[in-house]
């Protein structure tokens, strides 16, 4: 009856587990072989201050090559080729910008091209020019923010005093740094100071890393660029104002699981986990306190510095600290994800893609944990990109997605399942990446079951999908279907789809198959 329907639909919404309620107290912040902390941990314990940790910069393929490293050189003079310290040139430009009360886009462009002479003719700043020209009076503060960003960027040697490791393929490694250190690194990205990061050559040193310098953001004016620039300049405005400067830590952790440690999906005995489905709301708001899924690109952040503007890019624009992950995160492999704990939300927005609008400042009211990190945990996991829908109905691909999601949902070995927040997700891989929302929902449910976590699923206004998922979940719970059984059902379904000329809907097919079997 209607009542039962209602109960079924509101299933568990009250019982979702969130932080800080289900948070376990952390051990003391400390260094380890796999955890690089860029602030002084002793000062942090004794005085709760976030002082940069001293050490030294190294010019090495395992670390970020910094613009302020003595090894970073710039060619000067065309006839007799001589070299000088890149940071000398960069800091001179930045310092002279920093002295001004306002700087024009022309000033910014000139400075950037001074230390990127190779790109003088290639980089266009038309979007930034148009942006400032067209910005309404009440937003004219932009020209006074440019010098402040330059000042922050020029203080790089004071903020980062030791080498930042690269989070490389096939490793489980984390980096913890302060929000001010992130702001300083991003100020450098804004001013395009990072060396070795601009070459589009597929054999270039950092070809397997996302871009980090902001030059691509400043070119090719569009309405999208306007909204992106509003969001990012608001971020810089906030972090350069002593009254609103953020003061906490953020951790970036790359997690890798070896093939042989992945579940044998066909023999998993777990039954489907608790599920809350909602067509209203979105991951970042209604999913607050849960592990929030970033529908990522294997190059973390995707098109955030270009023209992309879907879930991941929007998330990165609202929480610009996430962008710094592009500096040190190598392209994600199949068995790995990136976890970000403690990033701050600076803005709020409306719309999506072409209708996306920056709607103004956001006051982040999240509480902080013992490491002074905001209680916000995001996991970046990249789904497969299918050019043709049909490609996905193949167990090799399905298993890859199961493993990827498992890597994203699995707790680290120290956390009891009872203390794990549930997962806030939705149509992962089903927009730009062309996946089947029903197949992906099942995949995520199976991985969550194995990781012993509940799921809050946001269908993003899709009422039909909301109802269908609720019904499917109800069916699987009633039949006590296990993950292993579901896996076998998917094996059969893929075989059918490969042979058939018409497309059988996954949920219809499962429903019929289960019904048929129970009649035998």
Catalytic residue, chosen from 227, 253, 284, 294, is 294
Report if residue 475 touches ligand AR6, rule: CB under 6 A.
no
Q: Count the alpha carbons within 13 Å of 228 in the hemisphere toward its beta carbon.
A: 30
Cα-flanking dihedrals φ and ψ of residue 206, to 5°? -105, 25
Strands (E), 305-372: 336-341, 347-350, 357-361
Report, in Å, the least distance between residue 226 CB and ligand AR6.
Answer: 19
**What is the torsion angle, in degrees rounded to the nearest 10, for the CA atoms of residue 204, residue 206, residue 207 and residue 208?**
150
Report if residue 312 touches ligand AR6, rule: CB under 6 A.
yes
Which of these ranges, 223-231, 272-280, 403-411, 430-438, lies near ligand AR6 under the rule CB under 6 A? 430-438
Report if residue 284 touches ligand AR6, rule: CB under 6 A.
yes
Residue from 265, 428, 487, 493 that binds ligand AR6 (CB under 6 A)? Answer: 428
Closer Cβ to ligand AR6, 158 or 207, answer by number: 207
β-strand partners of 349: 358
Q: Give catalytic status of residue 330 as yes or no.
A: no
Which of these ranges, 114-122, 152-160, 295-303, 484-492, lies near ligand AR6 under the rule CB under 6 A? 295-303
Dist CA 1 CA 17 (whole Å): 29
Report, in Å, the least distance between residue 358 CB and ligand AR6.
Answer: 15
Report, in Å, the least distance between residue 243 CB and ligand AR6.
Answer: 30
Cα-flanking dihedrals φ and ψ of residue 104, to 5°? -85, 170
Q: At what angle do helices 483-499 and 437-450 cross, to 10 degrees?
A: 150
Q: What is the total count of residues that contact ligand AR6 (CB under 6 A)? A: 24
Report, in Å, the least distance between residue 30 CB and ligand AR6.
Answer: 33
Report if residue 217 touches ligand AR6, rule: CB under 6 A.
no
| DSSP codes joined into one string, 227-291 | HHHHHHHHHHHHHTSTTT----EEEEEEEE--GGGS--GGG--PBP--EEEESSS-HHHHTTTSE
Catalytic residue, chosen from 109, 227, 253, 313, is 313
Residue from 427, 447, 470, 482 that binds ligand AR6 (CB under 6 A)? Answer: 427
Report, in Å, the least distance between residue 292 CB and ligand AR6.
Answer: 9
Dist CA 250 CA 490 (whole Å): 39
Q: Give catalytic status of residue 492 as yes or no.
A: no
Report if residue 439 touches ligand AR6, rule: CB under 6 A.
no
Write out the H or E segment, with its range, that includes residue 157.
Answer: helix 156-159
What is the greatest pairwise CA distance in the chain?
A: 87
Q: Give catalytic status of residue 285 as yes or no.
A: no
Range 264-283, binding ligand AR6 (CB under 6 A)? 282-283
Q: At what angle do helices 483-499 and 395-409 cross, to 10 degrees?
A: 150
Q: Count the alpha carbons within 13 Å of 175 in the hemisphere toward its beta carbon.
A: 28
Report if residue 432 touches ligand AR6, rule: CB under 6 A.
yes
Report if residue 303 touches ligand AR6, rule: CB under 6 A.
yes
Which of these ranges, 235-243, 289-297, 364-372, 443-451, lies near ligand AR6 under the rule CB under 6 A? 289-297
Residue from 115, 328, 458, 507 that binds ligand AR6 (CB under 6 A)? Answer: 458
Report, in Å, the least distance between residue 382 CB and ligand AR6.
Answer: 7
Which of these ranges, 96-104, 221-229, 422-430, 493-501, lies near ligand AR6 under the rule CB under 6 A? 422-430
Which of these ranges, 307-315, 396-404, 467-475, 493-501, lies near ligand AR6 under the rule CB under 6 A? 307-315
Which residue, among 397, 396, 402, has the nearest Cα to 263 in the 3D structure? 402
Report if residue 433 touches ligand AR6, rule: CB under 6 A.
yes
Q: At what angle do helices 142-154 and 179-190 cross, to 10 degrees?
A: 110
Residue from 93, 429, 445, 482 that binds ligand AR6 (CB under 6 A)? Answer: 429
When CB distances to ligand AR6 are compared, the closest residue is 302
* Helix ranges, 357-482 (H): 395-409, 437-450, 463-478
Closer Cβ to ligand AR6, 227 or 312, answer by number: 312
Q: At what angle do helices 395-409 and 437-450 cross, to 10 degrees?
A: 50
Cα-flanking dihedrals φ and ψ of residue 121, to 5°? -90, -15
Taking a C-beta distance cutoff of 8 angstroms, is the pair 469, 506 a contact? no
Which residue, among 418, 411, 421, has the nearest Cα to 451 in the 3D structure? 411
Q: At what angle do helices 463-478 and 437-450 cross, to 10 degrees?
A: 40
Tokens 């002074």, residue?
372
Report, in Å, the least distance between residue 297 CB and ligand AR6.
Answer: 3
Sort 9 into a burial class: Cβ within 10 Å, 0-12 / 13-18 / 19+.
Answer: middle
Under DSSP, is residue 79 helix (H, G, I), strand (E, B) or coil? coil
Report if residue 295 touches ligand AR6, rule: CB under 6 A.
yes
Closer Cβ to ligand AR6, 295 or 328, answer by number: 295
- Interface mask (CB under 6 A) for ligand AR6, residues 381-420, using x and -? --x-------------------------------------
Closer Cβ to ligand AR6, 180 or 403, answer by number: 403
Report, in Å, the least distance between residue 470 CB and ligand AR6.
Answer: 17
Catalytic residue, chosen from 312, 321, 369, 468, is 312
Report, in Å, the least distance between residue 344 CB and ligand AR6.
Answer: 17
Report if residue 289 touches ligand AR6, rule: CB under 6 A.
no
Which of these ranges, 135-143, 173-181, 272-280, 305-313, lies near ligand AR6 under the rule CB under 6 A? 305-313
Under DSSP, is residue 44 helix (H, G, I), strand (E, B) or coil? helix
Report if residue 297 touches ligand AR6, rule: CB under 6 A.
yes
Instruction: State the residues that interact with ligand AR6 by CB under 6 A.
Output: 282-284, 295-297, 302-303, 308, 310-313, 383, 426-433, 458, 460
Catalytic residue IDs: 294, 312-313
């Amino acid at each position: 009856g209607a009542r039962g329907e209602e109960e079924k639909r509101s299933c568990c919404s009250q019982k979702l587990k969130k932080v800080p309620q289900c948070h376990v107290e952390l051990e003391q912040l400390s260094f380890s072989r796999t955890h690089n902390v860029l602030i002084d941990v002793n000062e942090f314990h004794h005085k709760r201050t976030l002082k940069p940790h001293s050490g030294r910069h190294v010019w090495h393929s395992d670390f970020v090559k910094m613009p302020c490293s003595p090894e970073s050189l710039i060619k000067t003079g065309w006839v007799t080729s001589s070299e000088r310290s890149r940071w000398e040139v960069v800091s001179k430009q930045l310092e002279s910008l920093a002295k001004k009360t306002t700087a024009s886009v022309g000033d910014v462009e000139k400075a950037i091209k001074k230390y990127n002479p190779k790109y003088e003719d290639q980089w266009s700043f038309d979007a930034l020019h148009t942006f400032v020209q067209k910005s309404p009076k009440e937003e004219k503060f932009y020209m006074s923010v440019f010098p402040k960003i330059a000042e922050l960027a020029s203080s790089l040697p004071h903020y980062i005093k030791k080498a930042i490791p690269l989070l490389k393929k096939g490793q489980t490694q984390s980096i913890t740094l302060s929000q001010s250190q992130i702001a300083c690194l991003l100020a450098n990205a804004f001013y395009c100071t990072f060396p070795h990061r601009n070459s589009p050559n597929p054999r270039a040193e950092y070809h397997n890393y996302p871009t980090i310098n902001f030059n691509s953001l400043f070119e090719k004016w569009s309405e999208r660029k306007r909204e992106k620039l509003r969001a990012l300049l608001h971020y810089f405005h906030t972090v350069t104002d002593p009254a609103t400067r953020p003061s906490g830590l953020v951790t970036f952790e790359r997690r890798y699981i070896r093939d042989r440690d992945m579940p044998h999906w066909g023999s998993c005995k777990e039954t489907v986990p608790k599920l809350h489905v909602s067509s209203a709301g979105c991951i970042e708001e209604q999913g607050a306190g849960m592990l929030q899924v970033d529908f990522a690109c294997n190059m973390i952040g995707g098109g955030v510095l270009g023209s992309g503007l879907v879930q991941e890019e929007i998330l990165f624009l609202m929480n610009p600290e996430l962008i710094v992950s592009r500096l040190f995160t190598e392209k994600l492999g199949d068995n790995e994800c990136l976890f970000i704990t403690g990033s701050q939300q600076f803005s709020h927005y409306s719309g999506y893609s072409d209708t996306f609008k920056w709607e103004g400042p956001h006051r982040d009211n999240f509480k902080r944990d013992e490491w002074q990190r905001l209680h916000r945990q995001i996991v970046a996991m990249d789904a497969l990109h299918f050019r043709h829908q049909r490609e996905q109905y193949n167990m090799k691909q399905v298993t890859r997605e199961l493993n990827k999601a498992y890597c994203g949902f699995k707790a680290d070995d120290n956390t009891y399942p009872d203390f794990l927040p549930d997962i806030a997700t939705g149509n992962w891989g089903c927009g730009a990446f062309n996946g089947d929302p029903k197949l992906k929902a099942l995949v995520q449910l199976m991985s969550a079951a194995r990781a012993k976590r509940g799921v809050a699923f946001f269908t993003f206004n899709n009422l039909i999908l909301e109802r269908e998922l609720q019904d499917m979940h109800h069916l699987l719970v009633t039949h006590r279907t296990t993950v292993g059984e579901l896996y076998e059902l998917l094996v059969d379904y893929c075989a059918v789809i490969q042979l058939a000329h018409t497309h059988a809907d996954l949920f219809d097919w499962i429903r019929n198959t289960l019904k048929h079997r129970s009649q035998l």
